[in-house]
Amino acid sequence: MLRISSPLHVPSICGAPVNFILSFWNPSSRKVSNFTRLALLHSTTLFPNSRNFQFPIFKRVSTMMGRTHSCSKVVTASYSAGSGPGGSSGGDREILVQHLLVKEDDQKLLLDLQKRTAEGEDLSDLAVEYSMCPSKEDGGMLGWVRKGQMVPEFEEAAFGAPLNKVVKCKTKFGWHLLQVLSEREESVLEHIQPNEFHVRLQDPSFLEEAQLIDVREPEEVAQASVPGFQVLPLRQFGVWGPEISTKFDPQKDTYVLCHHGMRSLQVAKWLQTQGFRKVFNVAGGIHEYAVKVDPSIPTY
């Protein structure tokens, strides 16, 4: 089991403490898992290009927490772009957003920036120069967001904004100019029970159509393993995390395994934020798979 001693020093992101960045989001969920803290430690390698920046550094990091449920489908991440992108009022979208933030009383600067964006200047370039949000270091890029993650005023403006149009909104932090760059379909995370997973493994085409990830440590895999899994040790997240979308296909069904199903659930939720469309967490991990399906696999 991954253990990180407490208290843990969580570094700044984009020059600002993590707690400041977290405060931009809905305050109902600010707890950060050990996995997320490890990810934050590698933030400089995770975000080399702001245009590809998708790792959740705001409230989104807390979605890696999560409780194990007995039902098979535990998360259906569905979001709506409201009357904006796609014109849908249903909860089936998430959006890619960039923004800049100025002080509430700096109306002159706000109007000037609005004028400059209307004349064709890039919002990300203006964010780097003028924004007071730590995201300025990434051109104001906030990454993929879903409903329920942002403060209400920002969420309403973002999910109601047409694609690529710069709109303004006011929150307790000041005035924002924001731009929705893209949208995508819902992402789904499910628990799959060992018996059902075993049935799928028997299908000869399964391993061609799916991708399997084991996040246990090498010494654990040496004791017990299931054929077909690629091993990505959680302690080596800083090595494989930045390359996940190039080594694996986000459009394929992805199955994640660990010892008891907790580390794998954290990684599965993180994979959602990286654009993986359908992710399965093997419930109970390899331990439950050995007990319920294949007693030839050692338990430890």
**Active-site annotation holder among 14, 133, 169, 258:** 258
Among 195, 244, 261, 267, which Cα is nearest to 34's?
A: 267
What burial letters (b/e) apply to 49-77, b meaning 16+ CB within 10 Å? ebeebbbbbbbbbbbbbbeeeeeeebbeb
Q: Is 118 exposed, middle or buried (0-12, 13-18, 19+ CB in 10 A)?
A: exposed
Q: Which helix (H) or strand (E) holds 8?
A: none
258 included as an active-site residue: yes
DSSP notation for 57-70:
-SGGGGGG-----S
* Cα Rg, the chain, nearest whole Å: 21
Which residues are known catalytic residues? 258
